[in-house]
Amino acid sequence: MLRTTSARLAAALLGYFVLVIVLLTLFPFYLVLPNPIEISLRVAPDDIVENLILFLPIGFLYRLTGGRPRGAVFLGAALSASVEFIQIFLPVRTASPVDLVINTLGAGLGVWLYDQIAAHIAMTPTMVGRLALEIPLMGLMYMLVPLLWMNALALRDAPDRWVLTAMIAASGAIVLSDIYRAWWGPAGLWSAGRMALTAGAWFLIGSGPRLLHPLPTIPLTLGVVLLTAGLAALPWRSTDRRFERTTLRRILPGLALYLLLAALWPPFQPLSVWHGTLGLTDRIEPVTSRYPAPLLEYLAAFTLLGYVSAEWRGRAELPLTQDLPRLLLITLGSALTLELLVGFQSGHGASLVRAVLVVAGALFGGIIYHLQRDYVRFLLGRGPE
């Protein structure tokens, strides 16, 4: 039983990352008896970076729930071993003992990172302020990182999706610059530069799977740095410390356009008679190992939508039970509208399963916001543990 707000928040995030790993590694979920069994010993730098980043949160979040270091490493190894075993029966996958080792090391790296932070930082209300946990919209910056990860994976097979990457990056730059102007402005040249470099570091963390590829990572990173510096230098005229709605109004049009493009990507496809399917596809066909990345990016985008929707009403201090119906109405309407549009595109068309998945992801994003809010209130002495 998870009795503390921090443990419940960590467990929710841990479950989210486990779901992402399962979807990423086991799609499209149809099994056959292998003949013969294929095992790969290939070592690719891109795969090493991706696997380390993917499993690092498993070790970190397991420790955050109060679990022991050995248990975190065992969880990472057990999850990886289960994935590699099932991949033996997936025609479009190849099991790899190298991946098992790298994934386990990733979980161990997460344990090490948590222990280093825990050894040097006491989570007091003062430290909460230093980490900006109580600042409006800072949690949104954390939620944008998994979205950037999924987008970076999707870029491998569709490099033109850098347009979507730029839209995510611009949203992050706007949020960070508004946070700076509202809490620490007006900005001098040196302080604005530091905030811009912080934004660049945030984008590089989110671009982890693409760090070995200069294009489009370097140009987009420079764009984030310059945009943040320019916006941070502008005067801030509001005196309200709760500025989240003002900033959300700035980024919501871009996020709405991003969601539309992510659903219809690639845009400007030929139109057809409306069609759809109950599943993700109406036929079994060969797919590449990165095929689910766009689906995962779409799922992460709706998780972010749920978080943003809940934060929009954050000042009302609604309990989760009262907020969920509103959240369901907003996200269900958004998902069905987008599926209606996708149904007119040539290709696979609309998908009921995809709509259900993204609505569930959005509800989960809203739950994460409420768990985070409860945790911050406890740390600041305004709520129960």
pLDDT of residue 293: 82
**Is the distance from CB of 63 to CB of 115 less than 8 angstroms?**
yes
Domain boundary assignment for the chain = 5-120, 126-379
| Residue 269 DSSP symbol | P
Q: Please, which residues bridge with residue 271 across strands? A: 345
C-alpha 244 chain-centroid distance: 20
Least confident of 34-48, 137-151, 252-266: 34-48
Q: Which residue has the tokens 């068309």?
A: 349
Burial class (CB in 10 A: 0-12, 13-18, 19+), 46: middle
pLDDT band at 199 (very low <50, low <70, confident <90, very high): very high
248 φ/ψ sector (left φ>0, alpha ψ -120 to 50, else beta):
alpha
pLDDT of residue 243: 81
The tokens of 59 are what?
Answer: 């070790």
d(CA 14, CA 75) in angstroms, rounded, equals 11
**Position 198, amino acid:** T
pLDDT band at 134 (very low <50, low <70, confident <90, very high): low
Q: Is the peptide bond before 216 cis (omega within 30 degrees of 0)?
A: yes
DSSP count for the chain of H helices, then E strands: 13, 2
d(CA 144, CA 147) in angstroms, rounded, equals 5
φ/ψ of 271, rounded to 5, equals -90, 155
- The residue that leads in pLDDT, 60 or 169, is 169
- The residue that leads in pLDDT, 324 or 182, is 324
Segment 108-121, tens digit of pLDDT: 999 998 888 777 65
Q: Is 271 helix (H, G, I), strand (E, B) or coil?
A: strand
Average pLDDT over residues 268-281: 86
